[in-house]
Chains A and B, each alone.
Chain A
């Protein structure tokens, strides 16, 4: 095991490389991209959840001031191809503009291009669309019934994906267990809602035949998918990654936006930009997250040992597929959480309704699943009259059991769950927390302690694709880095994607500095565009510390070996006789007999006669890395290694509730966090704080609610409630370090942890508070109204 102190730069408190430009207002976001002669787009959206488009009259819009063009679905769909469909459902095609029918309220029907966004909006109002409303379905269970209106009639049903996985002797365990419980946990439709909405600017150059795109993206294979939909060869699309992304955590996919704008610029021969306003973003931007219920069954013994678990997860993906069904697949990689549960049945069901399509949200389906599992653990404890901490410790995988293979086939790399939970309980002073809760209860108010543990699968290996789609054989999810040392001796790291605040420039400069023993402050990190980039899969799935960090380290090691080889050639000795120190190479035991960094760099760039035979002149190295443990197809039972590394968190929270109003208040919050070796602790902590705030939103406030008519009822920030600084309490993070044996420095991924544990911990706290009344709530978000209703229902029941 590596000791953290053996690093020079890794783990040290250092200012993030990105801070100077963001703090001084010098970020360059897509709305800062102003191309000469650029035109702007506004959209006409469907007011109906389901309707046939009878006619679209565009003449008045075309005659409006400043209008260049009006595009409808008929033209667009005839000249472009469907966006990629993740699961095997070829008839569930998806285009940026609706043709013939609309399938959700807010779906785009026409696009207006004008001299300014305001003029485009004015003209969009003049477009007259005649609709014939059709039956619609909003409830996922109703959508599964035989007589339900079909969202995509050509597909034949609203069921997009269904399979029952049985891993281990589930029925036997249920037959023999001393206790069983069953309940339903409901995760409300919420999302990440970045400050910056989605935006894209594009310019077609007829001279070069290249479509340049600047977009606010966090999307794997984005250039390839845009090119395919536009029927272009891949090398005709150049995506510029040097655009700062103003927040994402999953949702900045933007394929339909980019294909639409790409088509418009090609057709019109002028640069075109589209930036969603907030209403477009929330309703038609396709950025709403999982919308899921879980029918949970657990079989366990009197001592608290959980023998088996059955999970039926029904997820409402809305009107189109995309990658959203895969959000039921990622949880397979940690389907038993941090617990040694020997038999699991998992029945993921992906269903379509007439709602806004679902998109990836932080954790890619892991946070809802973790909420269901952690509610189940608390329910087991309550059923047995045991302390929930004892039930968790009784079932945690022990540190001496790693590497540990779970029933669904993934092997957890490392961990010490007992130690992290104990550290967290000590940090919050659990004994005094219990006394504080009991004191509040004695004063006539309600209070509860919530505990949740969770795993953050990291390393972003999307093997759930091959698990859920037999026609997909994509088994590599590589990432890459190019390192260049120029003639002046300065180091540049080239990365291959854009960042949404994860600090990749800090990551790469720190890693290069660590390996090459050069000050990271002097190392520059730049972004290749998609035509010059090495293979990459973008920063998703908590993968970049592992994958980009690993690729950068690999490339740096090659540079180091090259420098050593040059020195060995000129000393006429073996590389084994030399040592590398602070960028210089000297003969072991003779520190004065050395080549300096500058001398070695000069040889590499200018003195071919001093280079060892076979070595390329110049000084650069690339490294393309496949995800460790990745690369395999699933077994027939659906067992597969998905993610490589598993970080662990424990959340402990005290919630107080005003019994007269139902208002919950978070009084204390401590998160114990183990993501192995932290490369930049401030970045890790920042993402964890933000994740907890995000999780507080999912637990108590945020919901994309729909009316029975299929209208989005929370389409503005007056109704879609994101927690503010007033709702997020002081948070404390306690670090622990269990290095991963699979990665370069022992690092694991981070960024989702706070969001994965907070909803479960808060739900458990609210339920602990309601427990003396005999009430419980298993549906998120837990609104004030829901709490008040639960209190009132119990009081009413008690008085009758």
Chain B
């Protein structure tokens, strides 16, 4: 269908964004391709250093999966902020990633962890890193004839790995004004062996800061180091303004929330 109809066809997964946009006549697909009954798109598989989820797996299923939460805890932490229980019962993981709202939670997790997207078309399959997948606000590098099939979430192997997700929105369940996600691993001495963090809502795509995060490796992740990293990251953001938040406010929030996420991730790692 996608190969035949290209841009005029749209995949319908949970419908939590597409259907309201159609109701407002903002999106008018000529063809709707319902993928909700395709069983192979719905699964959670936790392997040695990666967890795989089918693109059409409901957010609530991912949220409740204990094995997944043990290996990629950031997903469950982020999902608590995604809409409400009712929307998570319908909404899918792949739908949220493919929609690519720069304020949405799951794209930020994918960006921070460096998730890989398995895209399939009639011609074959390819894998894209999150960094390459998100190309702009509500835009991805998936071609019109490609369907997101699977998402591969890297699982860190360090025993003392902690992660955290936080965000600020005017009301709980709204799209975040700014969100932040972090994951850190520490050794037996409490020294950072790996760190990753990023912010959402502060640019056209969710942003990860691998170079700034790398500077945390070898530190004890004390508050000053965390704060420096968070503010360095915030300084790199170029957020937009809207009714609820100015660019300046968003940039400030990016620093505050990135620091909070890093500190919370550190505390979790230390507690292990």
What is A's interface to B at a CB cutoff of 8 Å?
121, 125, 277, 279, 660-663, 701, 705, 713-714, 716, 718-719, 721, 723-724, 726-727, 783-785, 788-789, 792
**Binary interface encoding of chain B residues 211-252 relative to chain A, with 1 for a CB under 8 A from any of its CBs, else 0:** 000000000000000000000000000000001111001001
Min CB distance A57 to B, Å, is: 20
With contacts A663-B168, A721-B170 taken as known, whether A716 is within 8 angstroms of B245 at the C-beta atoms is: no
Q: Which residues of B contact A661 (CB under 8 A)?
A: 168, 253, 256-257
With contacts A661-B256, A726-B173, A788-B249 taken as known, whether A719 is within 8 angstroms of B168 at the C-beta atoms is: no
> Which A residue's beta carbon lies closest to that of B241?
A785
Which residue of the partner chain, among B172, B177, B246, B253, contacts A727 with CB atoms under 8 Å? B172
User: What 3 pairs across the A-B complex have the smallest Cβ distances?
Assistant: A726-B172, A660-B256, A661-B168
Assembled-state Cα–Cα distance A789/B25 (Å): 36
With contacts A660-B256, A788-B252 taken as known, whether A724 is within 8 angstroms of B173 at the C-beta atoms is: yes
Is A701 a contact of B170 with CB atoms below 8 Å?
Answer: yes
Which residue of the partner chain, among B173, B243, B245, contacts A705 with CB atoms under 8 Å? B243
Min CB distance A646 to B, Å, is: 34
Assembled-state Cα–Cα distance A704/B64 (Å): 38
**Binary interface encoding of chain B residues 158-187 relative to chain A, with 1 for a CB under 8 A from any of its CBs, else 0:** 000000000010111111010000000000
Min CB distance A662 to B, Å, is: 8
Some 5 contacts from A to B, beta carbons below 8 A apart, are: A279-B24, A661-B253, A663-B168, A713-B243, A718-B175
- A661, A663, A721 interface centre (most CB from chain B within 10 Å): A661
Is B243 a contact of A719 with CB atoms below 8 Å?
Answer: yes
18 new A-B contacts, CB < 8 A, other than A660-B256, A724-B171, are A125-B25, A279-B24, A661-B168, A661-B256, A661-B257, A662-B249, A705-B243, A713-B243, A718-B174, A719-B243, A724-B172, A726-B173, A783-B170, A783-B244, A784-B244, A785-B245, A788-B249, A788-B252
Assembled-state Cα–Cα distance A661/B244 (Å): 13
Is A784 a contact of B170 with CB atoms below 8 Å?
Answer: yes
Is B171 a contact of A727 with CB atoms below 8 Å?
Answer: yes
Q: Which residues of B contact A719 (CB under 8 A)?
A: 243-244
Q: Which residues of B contact A705 (CB under 8 A)?
A: 243
> Which A residue's beta carbon lies closest to that of B170?
A721
Q: Which residues of B contact A714 (CB under 8 A)?
A: 243
Min CB distance B101 to A, Å, is: 11
Assembled-state Cα–Cα distance A724/B174 (Å): 10
Min CB distance B22 to A, Å, is: 12
- B172, B175, B244, B256 interface centre (most CB from chain A within 10 Å): B244
- Chain A interface, >50% SS class: loop
Q: Which residues of B contact A723 (CB under 8 A)?
A: 171
Is A721 a contact of B249 with CB atoms below 8 Å?
Answer: no
Assembled-state Cα–Cα distance A727/B170 (Å): 9
With contacts A783-B244, A784-B177 taken as known, whether A701 is within 8 angstroms of B168 at the C-beta atoms is: no
Which residue of the partner chain, among A663, A716, A721, A788, contacts B24 with CB atoms under 8 Å? A716
Min CB distance B27 to A, Å, is: 14
Assembled-state Cα–Cα distance A788/B252 (Å): 10
Q: Which residues of A contact B172 (CB under 8 A)?
A: 724, 726-727
Is B168 a contact of A785 with CB atoms below 8 Å?
Answer: no
Assembled-state Cα–Cα distance A789/B246 (Å): 10
Is A726 a contact of B171 with CB atoms below 8 Å?
Answer: yes
> Which B residue's beta carbon lies closest to that of A705?
B243
Q: Which residues of A contact B175 (CB under 8 A)?
A: 718
Assembled-state Cα–Cα distance A221/B79 (Å): 51
> Which B residue's beta carbon lies closest to that of A723?
B171
> Which A residue's beta carbon lies closest to that of B168?
A661
Q: Which residues of B contact A718 (CB under 8 A)?
A: 174-175
Assembled-state Cα–Cα distance A716/B24 (Å): 10
Which residue of the partner chain, among A121, A783, A788, contacts B25 with CB atoms under 8 Å? A121
With contacts A718-B174, A721-B174 taken as known, whether A784 is within 8 angstroms of B168 at the C-beta atoms is: yes
Min CB distance A698 to B, Å, is: 14
Assembled-state Cα–Cα distance A724/B86 (Å): 14
Q: Which residues of A contact B249 (CB under 8 A)?
A: 662, 785, 788-789
Q: Which residues of A contact B257 (CB under 8 A)?
A: 661
Interface residues of B in 6-31 (CB under 8 A from A): 23-25
Q: Which residues of A contact B256 (CB under 8 A)?
A: 660-661
Min CB distance A285 to B, Å, is: 16
Q: Which residues of A contact B23 (CB under 8 A)?
A: 277
Assembled-state Cα–Cα distance A277/B20 (Å): 12
Is A721 a contact of B171 with CB atoms below 8 Å?
Answer: yes
Assembled-state Cα–Cα distance A279/B24 (Å): 8
Q: Which residues of B contact A789 (CB under 8 A)?
A: 249
Interface residues of B in 102-128 (CB under 8 A from A): none
> Which B residue's beta carbon lies closest to that of A726?
B172
> Which B residue's beta carbon lies closest to that of A789?
B249
Min CB distance B13 to A, Å, is: 20
Min CB distance A228 to B, Å, is: 36
**Binary interface encoding of chain B residues 36-61 relative to chain A, with 1 for a CB under 8 A from any of its CBs, else 0:** 00000000000000000000000000
Assembled-state Cα–Cα distance A721/B244 (Å): 10
> Which A residue's beta carbon lies closest to that of B23?
A277
